[in-house]
Amino acid sequence: MKRFWDKVDIKGKDECWEWKAGKSRSYGMFLNKETGKVETAHRFSYRLTYGKIEKGKLICHKCDNRGCVNPNHLYQGDKGTNAADCKGRTGRVSRWYKGELWLIRHLHSKEIAQGAIAKMFKVSSTIISRIVKDPNYSYKGMNRYQLRNLNVF
């Protein structure tokens, strides 16, 4: 799979191997010509190195660097796995960042409908309404995966 490794900045065994080609949400993306499908480069790297990925498993980064495809930094995880990039996808809650609360209140002050803001942040409008009403609000209502999916920052 030369085509794959050509796009990787291969370094030492313990270093991060950065994906040099296209990325989406900081994950490297690779067009698998055999299947004609685009997949994440770290998953592909894992499969090339270790073989199959069990059904329903996620490939997580030990290094927390989404653009890294070093097989030594990758492992199979599932919903309870304790790495930021895997944890996010399980829907586990984490705190809102100050910036998001600020942005929500800011959008609200610009008379953007709460429903629209809710959609943007992929939460219910009840939560948005609480945030704009309560200046001390710090509800743990959104997971990191959702946060990273937002294109508003």
Short-list 81, 33, 78, CA closest to 53: 78
Query: How many angstroms separate the first and last alpha carbons of the chain?
Result: 36
**Tokens 């190195």 label which residue?**
49
Of 22-30, 48-56, 61-69, 74-82: span binding Zn ion (CB under 5 A): 61-69
Tell me the site size for Zn ion, rule CB under 5 A: 6
For the chain, give me the number of helices (H) and strands (E)? 7, 7
Token pair recorded at residue 99: 């910036």
Among residues 72 and 146, whose Cβ is nearest to Zn ion? 72
Lay out the site mask for Zn ion across 70-89 (x = CB under 5 A, - = otherwise): x--x----------------
| Binds Zn ion (CB under 5 A): choice among 63, 86, 107, 127 | 63
Among residues 16 and 118, whose Cβ is nearest to Zn ion? 16
Q: Is 68 among the residues that bind Zn ion (CB under 5 A)?
A: yes
Of 45-53, 59-67, 120-128, 131-139: span binding Zn ion (CB under 5 A): 59-67
Instruction: Assess contact for 65 and 15: CB atoms under 8 A.
Output: no
Q: Is 65 among the residues that bind Zn ion (CB under 5 A)?
A: yes
Alpha-carbon distance of 88 to 146, in angstroms, equals 8
- For binding to Zn ion (CB under 5 A), which residues are involved? 16, 63, 65, 68, 70, 73
